[in-house]
Amino acid sequence: QDDDKWDFVLVSDIHEVGSEKEIKRKKFLDELSKKGFAIKKIEDKNLFYGVRAPRQIFLKYQWLLRNPDSRLQSPDAHHDIPVTTRIRIVNFILQNTVTPDGEKLRDLMKKKKVFKAAFPLHKKEEMREFLKQRWARWRDIFCQQPIEKIRGYFGEKVALYFAWLGWYTYLLGFAAVAGLVVFVAGITVLSSSQVSREICEASSTVMCPLCDQHCPFWLLSDTCTYAKVTHMIDNEGTVVFAMFMAIWATVFLELWKRQRATVVTDWDLYGWDEDEEELALELINNLQHEPRRYQHSYLRSTVVLLLVLVMIAVLIGLAHGLVIYRVVATALFSQSELEFFREQANTVAVMTGAVLHYLTIVIMTKVNRRVALYLCDLEKPRTFSQRENNFTVKIFTFQFFTNFSSLIYIAFFLGRINGHPGHYVRIAGKWRLEECHPSGCITDLFIQMAIIMLLKQTISNVVEYLLPWIKHKIRKKRQRPKKRNVMLGEEEEEAEDPCKRQWLSNYQLNEVNVFSLFDEFLEMVIQYSFTTIFVAAFPLAPLLAFCNNLFEIRLDAIKMTRLCRRMVPRKANDIGIWLQVLEAIGILAVIGNGLVIAITSDFIPVLVYKYTYSPCMVGNSTGLDCSTGYINHSLSIFRIQDFEPDTKLPQMPPDFVGHEIKEYRDYRNADDYSYTVQFWHIFAARLAFLILFEHVALCVKLIAAWYVPDVPQSVK
């Protein structure tokens, strides 16, 4: 047996002889010794205990699972199972070894502070050096990933994550090109839109003030630039791109299922069962182990459901807080002494609101995790895999509402629940709700999406890389190894133990935990949500995600191989419940994009005008653009004397004559301000388009899912 090969290292402070912590540490190590573990002690500023499992444990594993890994090793190999499997078995036994006091390693680390760390070792073996030189380098950003080598060193779960991320990024390239084409096409027709041209020429159309105090009357032509930008996003190409992304999401998942089937078949894991593996490990650790029975408590499920709903209500409440911020900020900016803030009060409020939304996401991510863990503890799942699945569903639900509540408000409620001049809806009876920009709400959604995605993908990635790098350098500087080495049961030796440097260098690396890989998956799934759900308002989302992922792969690789301790390898034959989450996002993407086009966009109102009220339908208008007159048609007349009493009317423009002012984006009668027939006509058209779009998109998704088999013929 090799004396220098150790499966795990436990790190502890140097406690006083006879202290409670020293006694608890000795009891735990004694339990390991009873199971046949070899233990080696090295003393530095901390105590390091190397543990090595006896051969019998791995023979039991092979017998219980009929040696699923035997074909991976050559007959003359010293260890007849892969190192990744060996580490996984030892970790399970360490985590589930119980002391006479009924305490496990987790209790001794978190509550009692007996041990400071427990980790498997990074070793200077050929496979790790290959990964450092050929994978974890920025210059290999466009190179294919060595998935087999990743599996051999980090285990199947990590390898499948990188295989999925690589496949997602590869197919994202096609969506990025399509989105870029749509965006560039929008730029080329920037000034050719009849709608934006009418806004630019509306120099005699006077609009209502945008706030109650100190806001002037303004001309519709003042928003010329904004109208052009809106048309750049809101055009016929957007509808086609939204349909394309619905199909892309389905094709991506179907092709991934095929890719996954090929990979796990090569690994001989297609029929592997996680519950069976967990039961085998329980029996290896304790032959008297009895599997927990399946239990279901309606009371517990009801309590968990109610708590989830309360948490969702809190997250929606935070979104309402952001709405209030934007309302108050718009009022304050509009009263600013600086001309820029007065003129661009709404845009500045939206942009600062987006930054505040990003900060809310960062803070609530930590809160959401604690709440999701607490709810999982309440549920008392039977196995670790069940607990992981329950946690995944809860944390994704919370994160979804954290990320998207504000976007949902901007997309579907902004400017539609604020009333009309003379009868505005107000917060606390004081501040009136914000309105859409005269050229539409879709640009507000575009700004919000752009800021959040850019902040998430720049600041988050910089922090994700720099923080572990700085921590690693600081820990390395602080650690000053002593010149003595104590072996268990032996006197002090002068020569330095060859294990000491290796154990110290591993301890100086950043800590990893059971959530390390989970966090990477969650980050990518949230990004996938941004890339698909509101892509109709932000065609550049796939391009930003594609560029981010090229760096994300190498960033994660560098962290895992150079900056962090070795992850405990986990066996897997798929990406787990994340696949169901991705499929749910695909359906939400169809609904979300359908709603954006039907409600947020001006696509339907313009279409209704063209084919019902335009000059083309009234008489002979050869050569005339059918959307001519749309802007005038979409504005309603308001009488100045009908303003609310507390509204401070600004001074009239010198060239303004009459008592009528037009407000944009509403269809109301001039006498009683009730909705016109045109409003209900457009409402019916929006509803019809939404139903048609979603049914067509879902049918295409189902056909694509049927057409592309989940499992390739070669695998079958």
CA 527/CA 169 separation, integer angstroms: 12
Higher pLDDT, 132 or 168: 168
- The model's confidence at residue 4, banded by pLDDT at 50, 70 and 90, is low
What number of CA atoms fall less than 13 Å from residue 656's CA on the CB side? 18
Token pair 């996954």 is at which residue? 260
What is the structure's pLDDT at 397? 94
Q: With CA atoms as reference, report the closest residue to 662 among 688, 636, 634, 641.
A: 636
Tell me: pLDDT of 490 over 50.
no
Mean of the pLDDT values across residues 596-600? 87
Residue 404 scores a pLDDT above 50: yes
Res 88: pLDDT: 92
More confident residue, 432 or 700: 700
Of 294-308, 393-407, 623-637, the one with minimum mean pLDDT is 623-637
User: What would the pLDDT profile of 272-284 be if each residue is shown by its tens digit?
Assistant: 888 888 888 888 8
**pTM for the whole structure:** 0.86
User: For the segment 7-60, what is each residue's pLDDT rounded down to a tens digit?
Assistant: 899 999 887 788 888 899 999 999 999 999 999 999 888 899 999 999 888 888
Q: How far is CA 36 from the centre of its chain?
A: 44
Confidence of residue 663 (pLDDT cuts 50, 70, 90): low
**Gap between the Cα atoms of 260 and 575, Å rounded:** 9
Judge contact between 296 and 382, C-beta under 8 A.
Answer: no
What pLDDT is stored for residue 483 in this prediction? 44
DSSP for 419-488 reads EETTEE-EETTTEEPP--BTTBSHHHHHHHHHHHHHHHHHHHHHHHHHHHHHHHHHHHHH----S-B--T
Name the residue among 680, 658, 659 with its Cα closest to residue 669. Answer: 680
Residue 75: the pLDDT is 42
Q: What is residue 681's predicted lDDT score, i.e. its pLDDT? A: 93
In the prediction, which pLDDT does 498 show?
Answer: 75
pLDDT of 510 > 70? The answer is yes
| pLDDT value of residue 69 | 52
Given a cut of 50, whether residue 576 has pLDDT beyond it is yes
State the average pLDDT over residues 689-702: 89
Q: How confident is the model at residue 125 (pLDDT cuts 50, 70, 90)?
A: confident
Structure tokens at 288: 């008297």
| 299: Cβ contacts below 8 Å, ≥ 6 apart | none
pLDDT of the residue at 492: 44
Q: Residue 435: pLDDT above 80? A: no
Q: How high is the pLDDT of residue 622? A: 62
pLDDT at 70: 47
Give the CA angle between residues 377, 382, 388 to the nearest 5°.
Answer: 60
Task: Give percent of the chain above pLDDT 90.
Answer: 27
Mean model confidence pLDDT for the chain: 83
pLDDT average, residue stretch 526-539: 90
Cα 157 from Cα 73, distance rounded (Å): 20
Note the pLDDT of residue 688.
94
Count other Cβ atoms within 10 Å, centred on residue 259. Answer: 16
- For 283-315, the pLDDT digits (tens) are 888 877 777 777 778 888 899 999 999 999 999
CA within 13 Å, CB half, 12: 25
pLDDT value, residue 423: 77
CA dihedral 309, 314, 317, 322 (to 10 degrees): -130
pLDDT over threshold 90, residue 237: no
Asked if pLDDT for residue 371 goes beyond 80, the answer is yes
- Tokens 């006077």 sit on residue: 206
DSSP-derived 3-state class of residue 564: strand
Question: Which tens digits make up the pLDDT trace of 191-210?
Answer: 777 888 888 888 888 887 77
